Amino acid sequence: MDVDREGRVTWSLKDSDVWTTQHTAAIVGKVLYCWGGDKEDLDIKSHNSPIKRQCTSAIDAFNLLSGVWSSRPTSGTPPLGIIGVSCTTINNNIYYFGGYCGHDTCYHNSLNCLDTLTLQWNELQSTDNNFVTKRGYGGMIVMGSESEPQQLLVIGGMAPVSTTCITQYHHQFEYIKIPCRDDRVRTNEQNIYNLSSGQWTIPSVSGQCCPPISNFIIERINHNKGIMYGGASTDCGIATKGIYLFQLSHNNINWECLKQGAIPNDGLWSKRYGHASTIISGVSTSPTLVVIGGLDNREKLVNDCLLLDTNQYNLMKIPLPDSATGRYYHTVSSFVLDPNHVFLIIVGGNVKPEERKDVGEGGVMKWLPTPVTDPNITMLIELDNSKKLKTDELEESVEEKQIMTGEYEKLKAIVADKEVYITELLKEKTQIEEQLKAAQTCKHISYLLDKDPISVAGASREATGTNNSSTSGQQNVHQQLESHNNDSTSVQSQLSEATKYAGLVYYEEKGVEDLVTFAASKDLNALVQYIEQRHSQAEIGQNVYFSFHPSRDYIELKLDHTPQKYPFNGWTIQSHFEPCELHRCDIDKFGNASDPIPPCCLLSVNRSPNAVPTLHYSIPLEGVVRPITLYIHRSLRTTNPSTSSSSNTITEVTAVSSNGGASVPASVDVKRVKKVINDVLVSHHASLTSLKTSLSDLASQLYTAGLISDEVKGTRSMDTFITEFKASLSFKRKLPQVEEHCQKFLSSFIAVRGSYADAAIALAEDWIEAVRKELEFDFNIDIDS
């Protein structure tokens, strides 16, 4: 993460500085996922080569709070359509449709889903010669609210001219050959995929429909309304500036083209294609469309950033640096840090077409694009909602946050642990006067976005210095430098407080003592995976989430002089090093090739023969925003410690089944039990997700049972409830824990009554039958509870 000479916060790919264009970007939670596109290491000439598969089997993830890129491997089979593919998100899933394979006229019409919790690909519809045209460079959004079946709407794009790719034309749509590329057509075909039924349908259309078009932007305004702007039309890719609104109702899409004059300042809307967009939605603001970059009819860059209030149709233009807006075939995403701060994340793209010689074709001159390169691959721009000004003050209210970095610049950006701390400002009078002389070319930018209506705050100023005003000039420079420092510190503090880390306690038996380890990471799943691979016999205990206090760069376990609520006579707890601290920089490094082990604090727990039976010892965690206490739970051993047991095979006491069936064996493979449970749950997924009417009641029951968090409760989504159930199940290490977890899940359904109770009974019966059939013992759950 760096602060450049124009005061912009920028991040770039550190591990693999790879440019990418015509890719996808989707935000899930606090992570931006980038996949596909044309990359320098991609074997696009091959249909399905090992190199191509290796490239497409990984997804780039950008942590929006820490500013760290990572490449994450996926499982399953990724799509082959990778360039110009359309994507959208629902909860934790990212959906991908179509795309260009990269060779000849190979387009796809497959529909795939990536679960970001497991990073598992799932093909919902394979590429086939059905009535959905194979195509790319179109658009896809999700329509429908949580109270009704959600649908994926696919619009427009470019398709090959081939009887194997277009099996039938639909009379309500157009398919027009591109004169300069007679092997392809542009279309305005529209398709709807129902996620509940798993079926494609062709909607009816009314109103003034969009023309055959590609490389446009499309965004969702609300659950049944969207907006579309720009794109390449049928005549050799001529750009258009048409703005279309569409509304979906009962399998009908009604279109409306906004006429000239419908939007104030509509002269700002220029013809463009290959641009990027995002929607900013807030509690007190109308959904706001942000459009950045693109190419015009003359293949020239459109260097601007436009904001459109989709409720009042107020349009404004905010000046951003050319390095942010001067690109095409890029992506822009928005991340709301808090009600007053929104960040735009701009990734990849091309910066200009460049004429080069291709010796391989006899020295023929060819126009080839120039990709964005490091350090501008990823850029982050802050929009501030905290100030208000009138819209007509727009041109005066833009202030560029730029600090001179010439010969006399004394402001240093120190990069430490991927975070910027401005540590030095030289205040000597002679140096300030020299800065003033050079400041004629310097502006101080602040991108300030109003709440309602959205407007830009601040005033555009230039700092100029003369002999007659050197004193006031010095004060202005002091104020500007202090303001920049305060702004940077404020943003840094907010990021620090908002960044979530995960901590996990696990136990191991080492001879007569227990070894207790507290490890920390940015990703709880990464910790669990490490423990399962490197400490297979460990017992996983308490996990917590925390944020570093802005004044501290480490956390500490406080073992001394902590009052205890429960007696601990006969027990001793001793740390392996003092002080027992974990530093933020070490936690951030975990996962890199050179840091495969998470930072951790080690404690030894010993018991005497006369110790109290159970230890329940509290340890405060200091250096965090909110108070957190860890608890060590241990009991006196009744048997000698075993060194040969497996983490997946837990020794249980033999018991007779409650229903008179097969008894529980002495050794139970809990991992196989959990697999059976998950497999049965998958078979019930469609019927469970069809339950729509009482999701709020179910959410309350699951929350009361402690199965879901407050955030998951607010989603009122069956998919999310099931995902959370599976995630918690993965942490259960003993059979009684698994049975109790399933019992709570079933009891929550039964408490809602009606069809939910019927679903619980059916699920329980199938769980019991599957465990009995595959593992030959009775799964102890009560379907009458």
Percent of the chain with pLDDT over 90: 30
The conformation of residue 395, written as its DSSP 8-state character, comes to G
Asked whether residue 322 carries a pLDDT value surpassing 60, the answer given is yes
Whole-number Å distance between alpha carbons of 192 and 211: 18
Span 194-223, average pLDDT: 92
Q: Which of 345, 347, 400, 404 is nearest to 371 (CA)?
A: 347
Q: Give the global pTM.
A: 0.52
**Any idea where the domains of the chain sit in the sequence?**
20-128, 391-497, 500-645, 651-775
- Candidate from 72-76, 404-408, 410-414 with smallest mean pLDDT: 404-408
20-128 to CATH, choices 3.30.70.20, 2.120.10.80, 2.40.30.170, 3.30.950.10: 2.120.10.80
Architecture of domain 500-645: Sandwich (2.60)
Contacts of 205 (CB under 8 A, 6+ apart): 172, 173, 190, 252, 253, 254, 255
Asked whether residue 189 carries a pLDDT value surpassing 90, the answer given is yes
Span 153-168, average pLDDT: 75
Residue 317 pLDDT class (50, 70, 90 cuts) = confident
Span 340-357, average pLDDT: 74
Neighbouring C-alpha atoms within 13 Å toward the C-beta of 277:
28
Asked whether residue 570 carries a pLDDT value surpassing 80, the answer given is yes
At residue 285, the pLDDT reads 65
Summarize pLDDT for 576-594 with one digit per residue, the tens: 888 899 999 899 888 887 7
Asked whether residue 401 carries a pLDDT value surpassing 60, the answer given is no
Asked whether residue 15 carries a pLDDT value surpassing 90, the answer given is no
Contacts of 732 (CB under 8 A, 6+ apart): 670, 674, 738, 741
At residue 155, the pLDDT reads 97
Convert 613-629 into a string of H (helix), E (strand) and C (coil): CEEEEEEEEECECCCEE
Asked whether residue 655 carries a pLDDT value surpassing 90, the answer given is no
Whole-number Å distance between alpha carbons of 60 and 71: 4
Asked whether residue 518 carries a pLDDT value surpassing 60, the answer given is yes
Asked whether residue 446 carries a pLDDT value surpassing 50, the answer given is no
- Candidate from 297-311, 357-371, 652-666 with smallest mean pLDDT: 652-666
The residue ranking higher by pLDDT, 45 or 186, is 186
Q: What is the rounded average pLDDT for all residues in the chain? A: 76
Instruction: Determine the residue type at 136.
Output: G
> How many Cβ atoms are within 10 Å of 112's Cβ, its own excluded?
24
Summarize pLDDT for 63-89 with one digit per residue, the tens: 887 778 888 999 999 998 899 999 999
- Candidate from 38-42, 474-478, 693-697 with smallest mean pLDDT: 474-478
- Can you tell me whether residue 519 is helix, strand or coil? strand
At residue 97, the pLDDT reads 96
